[in-house]
Amino acid sequence: MIRTKIIISLLISTLFFTNCAKRGSISGGLKDTLAPKILFTTPPNLSTNFQAKTIKITFDEYVKIKDINKQLIVSPPLKNQPDVFPKGMASKFITVQITDTLQPNTTYTLNFGQSITDNNEGNPVNQYKYVFSTGSYIDSLQVSGSIKDALLQEPDTFVSVMLYDAQTYTDSIVYKKQPLYITNTLDSLKTFTISNIKQGTYKLVALKDVNKNNKFDPKTDKIGFINQAIELPTDKEFKLNLFKEKATFKTQKPSQLTQNKIIIPYVGTFENTTISATHTNKSIKTALTKFPDKDSVMLWLPKNITDSVRISVKNNSFSKDYNVVLKTLKKKDSLQINPTKAGVLHFREHISIDSSTPLQTINEQLISVQKADSSLVVFKSKYDGFNQKLWLEFPKEENQKYTVTLLPKAVTDIYETQNDTLSFTARTTSLSDYGNLKISIKNAKKYPLLIEILDKEEVVEQAVLTKPEEVYFDAILPRIYTLRVIIDENGNGMWDTGNILEQKQPEEVIYYPKGIDVRANWDVEQIFELE
């Protein structure tokens, strides 16, 4: 009996100590998703009769500062941005030093955006605002609205939205002076609110401020504005269309590329530009073509031109003459012709041939297009001299192979050089590899309309609608397309941007809210209600 009790006691002790020695892992607990809390500020937030040069913000945990130069928005803007400490280390305190002279009787807002985060998980103190007034009260009015890009589907990030005093506003003030009030959409918002504004009348302007100087630089910045002044207080929401102004046309100094070719860089729109040349005070025959992928044109001179040429450029009110001294260069231009694209020929495409020099004559009798059975195809040729492309147009058949041949002397360039034999093939596939799209526009109040389908922001097809009717895009590649409509106010077949000095808004662009899925061998019918 005694022995049995001893054995039971030993077993119980063994089990007890075994459990005590069992290993386990220490859990880290739930992930911290809470933003740091502000315990107090010195001077207190919403202080009046503010005279301090230093602001101290105390938190309940260690915080750090990131992207403060982009995130901190001070309204009204200060000439010198406040210094914020500490930099590059964690602390339970943030110190703001004001290095500028503050205006009397003015309410200031320091919006920290998402620059303050906790030290461990990076949880931001979202849109924290410190507000103070150098006068006896805090201004409390505000104006709100939204930002959209005038042409693109998605607006830019970090867009500044500004208010100017309407009494002293001129259209040129955005180039020269900082605004009275400012906010920023930062990196995620499409809406804005400018807070703590005095009662009054203001002009509302938005700016994609690349140089971050609160002034409009048309070379780099986009701008948007409301034509009418706004009266505060108001509960109206404002929509600002951000656009890039078209640069005023001008040319830069020409330079010689080859023995007979001069490149002329330009800014603005080349449309309606004429360029002529003289040699020894006599007009000479030239050809003008586009320099690929650059805002430049190429002026082709006749052979045996030496010494110098005088080039005259005219575009509306722009007029300028250049004297180009010609050098003797070894590099010369020779005629070469090649297909723009080989392989599959889509049903909405035409065969295209690039020429290295401008063409002067085309002999269709020396050009042939043959099907796989060697039968000839009737075609029409068109030459785009500005882009140096020869187009061969003809109806295409399914699953067909075409052989294109240019015999010697089929084309002659401006230097009387003729081609050698060129032969290449192109083939079509089945129409079932493509989809068809029919678009019906409803509630259109103005015409003409430009109907465009885009693939990743690139316009792949366009149609002009001058009256209520359906638009067909047949045999297009299977894609998820973006659909947009441009209200073509001046009927020039293209989207026109705005201009702030002319108080001209850009032409309206309306996007269909969803992607349009065009699949192979499908017919898609899409109704687009314009609102």
Return the pLDDT at 384. Answer: 97
Sheet holding 337-339, edge to edge: 337-339, 351-355, 389-393, 380-384
Task: List C-alpha distances in Å: 180 to 77, 163, 165, 415, 438.
Answer: 7, 6, 7, 63, 50
> Could you report the per-residue pLDDT of 407-457, keeping only the tens digit for each?
999 999 999 999 999 999 999 999 999 999 999 999 999 999 999 999 999
Count of C-beta atoms within a 10 Å radius of residue 190: 14
Task: Identify the CATH number of the domain defined by range 433-529.
Answer: 2.60.40.10
In DSSP terms, 439 is beta-bridged to 471, 526
Q: Which fold has domain 337-429?
A: Immunoglobulin-like (2.60.40)
**DSSP code, position 21:** H
Per-residue pLDDT at 188: 78
Q: Which residues contact 5 (CB under 8 A, 6 or more apart)?
A: none
Residue 127, pLDDT score: 87
In angstroms, rounded to a whole number, what is the distance separating the alpha carbons of residues 179 and 165?
8
> Domain boundaries in the chain?
38-133, 141-242, 250-325, 337-429, 433-529
| Residue of 216, 127, 228 lying closest to 176 (CA atoms) | 216
For residues 122 and 118, give the distance between their C-alpha atoms in angstroms, rounded to a whole number: 5
Phi, psi at 11, each rounded to 5°: -65, -45
Give which of 438, 501, 402, 496 is closest to 174, Cα–Cα: 501
Looking at residue 228, what DSSP letter applies?
S
User: Within 13 A of 528's CA, how many CA atoms are on the CB side?
Assistant: 28
Rounded to whole angstroms, how far apart are CA atoms 173 and 214? 11
Q: What is the pLDDT of residue 32?
A: 62
Pick the CATH number of 250-325 from 3.40.50.300, 3.40.50.1000, 2.60.40.10, 1.20.1250.20: 2.60.40.10
Q: Which residue has the tokens 């035409």?
A: 350
What is the pTM for the complete model shown? Answer: 0.84
What is the reported pLDDT for 189? Answer: 80
The topology (CATH level 3) of 38-133 is: Immunoglobulin-like (2.60.40)
* Rounded-to-5 percentages of helix, strand, coil across the chain: 5, 45, 50
Q: Which helix (H) or strand (E) holds 366?
A: none
- The CATH-assigned architecture of domain 141-242 is Sandwich (2.60)
Q: Which residues pair with 435 in a beta bridge?
A: 476
pLDDT in tens, 183-219: 999 887 899 999 999 999 999 999 999 998 999 999 9
- Predicted pLDDT at 135: 97
Q: Which helix (H) or strand (E) holds 1?
A: none
pLDDT for res 31: 63
Q: Round to whole Å and give the CA distance between 127 and 122.
A: 15
> Could you tell me which residues come within 8 angstroms of residue 32 by beta carbon, excluding any fewer than 6 positions away?
118, 120, 121, 123
pLDDT tens digit at each of 531 positions of the chain = 444 444 445 444 444 444 444 344 444 455 667 899 999 999 999 999 999 999 999 999 999 999 998 899 999 999 899 999 998 899 999 999 999 999 999 999 999 999 999 998 889 998 899 999 999 999 999 999 999 999 999 999 999 999 999 999 998 999 999 999 999 998 878 999 999 999 999 999 999 999 989 999 999 999 999 999 999 999 999 999 999 999 999 999 999 999 999 999 999 999 899 999 999 999 999 999 999 999 999 999 999 888 999 999 999 999 999 999 999 888 889 999 999 998 999 999 999 999 999 999 999 999 999 999 999 999 999 999 999 999 999 999 999 999 999 999 999 999 999 999 999 999 999 999 999 999 999 999 999 999 999 999 999 999 999 999 999 999 999 999 999 999 999 999 999 999 999 999 999 999 999 999 999 999 999 999 997
State the amino acid at position 425 in one-letter form: T
